[in-house]
């Protein structure tokens, strides 16, 4: 094989359709020679994920719902059986009840708080635990976060608290797994219109706001996030761990609305 990812095998969690960030990262890795495995969440997504897997020759590990540890175990058992080892994992999973991705954070319910943290935060640690055993030659774990972890974004609410916890997990996991040469990083992506994002209140407004105020004066694509993901999953970033890297057209450095931005 040829390419930056030749000889590397990776599990990608979070492909829902061809607009998913996970798909952008998977494509970038496959183009560089990586061998990939996908999971899908439930039968409804199976018919979307299978053709995408076929497009890049990826293995389909079956249903995986991260709230059910048995389905995560089944996925890793399949990887172990088929490959015996693992080089990288992409965790591009998040969830919160849409009814609470609007209005005030303070109104978050106990049930949705726990569920959001379980799916969006704990799952990364659950996956790291299992990946560690198969990453016998070292490895790279990558998760996806958002600026709403650092600063208050309208409607992001409990998801912002979850992303802050996810970013802290990246640092703790990096320290625990570093001695085994397993690196742990996150990409903080700018807003992209995906299935998950459509649950966030006034998302179109957030997209416009970023377009007018980011240094590059545009939003980012899943291809751009994919290429940055490729860096973290390849040996190009072999000296990097515990990092939260912004792929957001530079939005995170801006302290004030641009003078020439029209009123939106
Ligand atoms: P998406 O809807 O394409 O992907 C979200 C994925 O999470 C889906 O594949 C879904 O099946 C999966 N998922 C949800 N609950 C699950 C569960 N219980 N078990 C297993 N899988 C589950 O949307 P996306 O925007 O590509 O989201 C991927 C990641 O990127 C998320 O963590 C999201 O928070 C993050 N992110 C998105 C944006 C954005 O603007 N789209 C920006 C920054 C970060």
pLDDT digits 0-9 by tens, 44-66: 999 999 999 999 999 999 999 99
Whether 105 is catalytic is no
Mutate to test the pocket of ligand 1, among 12, 13, 18, 21 (most ligand atoms within 8 A of CB): 21
CA nearest ligand 1 atom 34, residue = 94
Tally of structural domains, the chain: 1
Residue 102 lies in a domain: yes
Per annotation, catalytic residue among 122, 146, 147, 251? 146
Q: Which residues of 72-86 are buried (b: 16+ CB within 10 A; e: fewer)?
A: bebbbebbeeebeeb
CA nearest ligand 1 atom 33, residue = 94
- Beta carbons within 8 Å of 191's beta carbon, 6+ residues apart: 146, 197, 203, 206, 207, 210, 219
Q: Which domain holds residue 236?
A: 9-247
CA-based nearest residue to 94, from 171, 168, 21:
21
For residue 197, which atom of ligand 1 is closest to its CA?
A: 41
Q: Which residues are annotated as a binding site?
A: 14, 20-21, 41, 65-66, 93, 163, 192-196
How far separated are the first and last CA of the chain, in Å rounded? 49
- Beta carbons within 8 Å of 88's beta carbon, 6+ residues apart: 8, 9, 10, 11, 29, 34, 139, 140, 141, 142, 233
Mean pLDDT in the chain? 97
Q: Does the model's pTM come out above 0.95?
A: yes
Residue 187 lies in a domain: yes
93 lines ligand 1 (CB under 6 A): yes
> Domain of 28: which CATH number?
3.40.50.720
CA-based nearest residue to 57, from 86, 17, 30:
30
Residue 263 lies in a domain: no
DSSP per-residue string spanning 191-220: P---TTGGGSTTHHHHHHHHHHHSTTSS--
Residue 73 lies in a domain: yes
For residue 93, which atom of ligand 1 is closest to its CA?
A: 7
Residue 218 lies in a domain: yes
Residue 85 lies in a domain: yes
Token pair recorded at residue 74 = 């089944």
Residue holding tokens 């001695």?
A: 179
Residue 21 lies in a domain: yes
What does the DSSP 8-state code read for residue 256?
Answer: S
Q: E-strand spans in the chain?
A: 9-13, 35-40, 59-63, 88-91, 139-145, 182-189, 244-247
Q: Give pLDDT, residue 264.
A: 66
Whether 156 is catalytic is yes
Residues of the chain with pLDDT under 70: 259, 261-264
CA 213 from chain centre, in angstroms, equals 24
Mutate to test the pocket of ligand 1, among 120, 194, 247 (most ligand atoms within 8 A of CB): 194
Q: Give pLDDT, residue 257.
A: 81
Residue 256 lies in a domain: no
What does the DSSP 8-state code read for residue 157?
Answer: T
CA nearest ligand 1 atom 28, residue = 92
């Amino acid at each position: 094989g040829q390419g930056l990812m030749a000889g590397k095998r990776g599990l990608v969690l979070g492909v829902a359709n061809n607009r998913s960030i996970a798909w952008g990262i998977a494509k970038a890795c496959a183009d560089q020679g990586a061998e990939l495995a996908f999971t899908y969440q439930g039968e409804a997504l199976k018919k979307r994920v299978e053709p995408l897997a076929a497009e890049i020759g990826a293995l389909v590990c079956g249903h995986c719902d991260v709230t059910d540890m048995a389905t995560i175990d089944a996925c890793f058992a399949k990887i172990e059986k088929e490959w015996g080892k693992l080089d990288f994992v992409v965790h591009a999973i998040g969830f919160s009840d849409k009814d609470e991705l609007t209005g005030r954070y303070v109104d978050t319910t106990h049930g949705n708080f726990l569920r959001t943290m379980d799916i969006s935060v704990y799952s990364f640690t659950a996956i790291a635990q299992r990946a560690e055993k198969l990453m016998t030659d070292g490895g790279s774990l990558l998760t996806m976060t958002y600026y709403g972890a650092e600063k208050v974004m309208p409607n992001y609410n409990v998801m912002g608290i979850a992303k802050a916890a996810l970013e802290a997990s990246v640092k703790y996991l990096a320290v625990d797994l570093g001695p085994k040469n397993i690196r742990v990083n996150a990409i903080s992506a700018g807003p992209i219109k995906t299935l998950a994002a459509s649950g966030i209140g006034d998302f179109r407004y957030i997209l416009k706001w970023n377009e007018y105020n980011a240094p590059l004066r545009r939003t980012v694509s899943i291809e751009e996030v994919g290429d940055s993901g490729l860096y973290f999953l390849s040996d190009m970033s072999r000296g990097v761990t515990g990092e939260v890297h912004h792929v957001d057209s530079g939005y995170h450095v801006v302290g004030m609305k641009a003078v020439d931005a029209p009123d939106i």
